[in-house]
Amino acid sequence: MTKPPLLNEPILEPDLPIIDPHHHLWDGRVPARRPAAHGFDKVIEMSPRYLLDELLVDTSSGHDIRATVFVECRAMYRSDGPEDMRVIGETEFVNGIAAMAASGIYGSTKVAAGIVSRVDLMIGDAAGAVLDAHVARAPDRFRGIRHSGPWDADPIVLGPLAGRSAPGAYMADAFRKGFAHLGPKGLSFDAWILEPQIPEVTDLARAFPDTTIILDHVGTPLGLGAYEGRQEERFDIWRASIRELAGCANVNVKLGGLAMSFCNLDGFLSEPRAGSERLAAAWRPYVETCIEAFGPERCMFESNFPVDLGSCDYATLWNALKRLAAGAGADEKTALFSGTAARVYRIEI
């Protein structure tokens, strides 16, 4: 596994309890890409394997990670059976890892205390049975689903990303018929889209005000392809969309994912590796805008690991997030680092 060298920064506020509400687990290859004017000029293997051992190396790097939430990444789907039900394999896989961690043999971190899996909501009312099957496989940990909807007309933006969405997925009638089954079952919805699509999440939240929605990665600001070099120009558009979305009381936002290639912010695949101060400076406008719009009680810091490995190691990432919260009060820090995640994903620490 290729990983960036550790910077060995001193751990900031090592006693601050953290729930990491967004990480993945997989056994496969995931590329990290550096954008260039005509495609990608650098490809590295970030993490061909990221399972319990790799995650525990990260969560034991000095920060007080009390619990985590797994978010779907199309891992370990069943190889046979009805097509719509093959996604259940991911919940079974992660629930097994969570049970290993819960034994206490591997330390005190409650790995995957919450599980967010996937259902293809485009199957409409049939989604209800798939949701029930997820719950049956992990009744103590299954919390909801993510049906990613990223789309852009510029093919460079998403590149070879598997599972790209059709345009306007969250607006489709079939999707919303499937979505309607979440709220009555007490399940949440993680929305991963790209910045121009944030208004679609707002429309969805207004249509289903009783369903908890979590916007992943501050809405994924873009800096690739047609958006390269236009982050400053696009910022006001992104901010207006975020403020409009924040008017929906059922929406929460994850503060992170800004180390991804899609954003192409300062620090991505930099050589030498970027330190936490440099990363915090690049991420600050987006994080502070979200906290101002949503309030700390609806915001949660996330690692998005191992995807964010393209910019930094796990310890440096949490140092950067702590720098961003340096001026917050004790109650605000609790909300940002653990309280909001505990409430949204029903986790006790």
CB-based contacts of 114, cutoff 8 Å, min separation 6 = 21, 67, 68, 69, 70, 141, 143, 345, 346, 347
- pLDDT tens for each residue of 55-64: 999 999 999 9
- pLDDT tens for each residue of 155-171: 889 887 645 688 999 99
Q: Is the pLDDT of residue 41 over 80?
A: no
Peptide bond into 48 cis (omega under 30): no
5 in a structural domain: no
Q: Is the pLDDT of residue 43 over 70?
A: no
- pLDDT tens for each residue of 198-225: 999 999 999 999 999 999 999 999 999 9
- Strand 39-45 and strand 31-36: the pairing is antiparallel
CB-based contacts of 281, cutoff 8 Å, min separation 6 = 266
**First CA to last CA across the chain, in angstroms?**
31
Measured distance CA(222)–CA(214) in Å, rounded: 19
8 in a structural domain: no
Q: Which residues pair with 20 in a beta bridge?
A: 68
48 in a structural domain: yes
The two tokens of residue 245 are 């979305």
Domain containing 151 equals 17-345
What is the reported pTM? 0.94
122 in a structural domain: yes
Measured distance CA(220)–CA(121) in Å, rounded: 22
- Using a CB cutoff of 8 Å and minimum separation of 24, what contacts does 41-48 make? 42/269, 44/2, 44/269, 44/310, 45/1, 45/2, 46/2, 46/3, 46/306, 46/307, 46/309, 46/310, 47/1, 47/2, 47/3, 47/306, 47/309, 48/1
Measured distance CA(64)–CA(239) in Å, rounded: 32
88 in Cβ contact with 73 (< 8 Å): no
The two tokens of residue 143 are 């919390």
What pLDDT score was predicted for residue 44? 41
The two tokens of residue 211 are 């369903």
Q: Which residues pair with 145 in a beta bridge?
A: 117, 189
CB-based contacts of 65, cutoff 8 Å, min separation 6 = 18, 19, 20, 59, 109
Query: Directed axis angle between helix 231-246 and helix 198-207, to 10°?
Result: 0
Q: Which residue has the higher pLDDT, 37 or 258?
A: 258
- pLDDT tens for each residue of 287-341: 999 999 999 999 999 999 999 998 999 999 999 999 999 999 999 999 999 999 9
- Supply angle C-alpha 115, 119, 125, rounded to 5: 130
- Strand 64-71 and strand 299-301: the pairing is unpaired
Measured distance CA(111)–CA(136) in Å, rounded: 19
Residue corresponding to tokens 């890892």: 97
Domain tally, the chain: 1
Q: Is the pLDDT of residue 254 over 60?
A: yes
Domain of residue 140, CATH code: 3.20.20.140
What pLDDT score was predicted for residue 48? 77
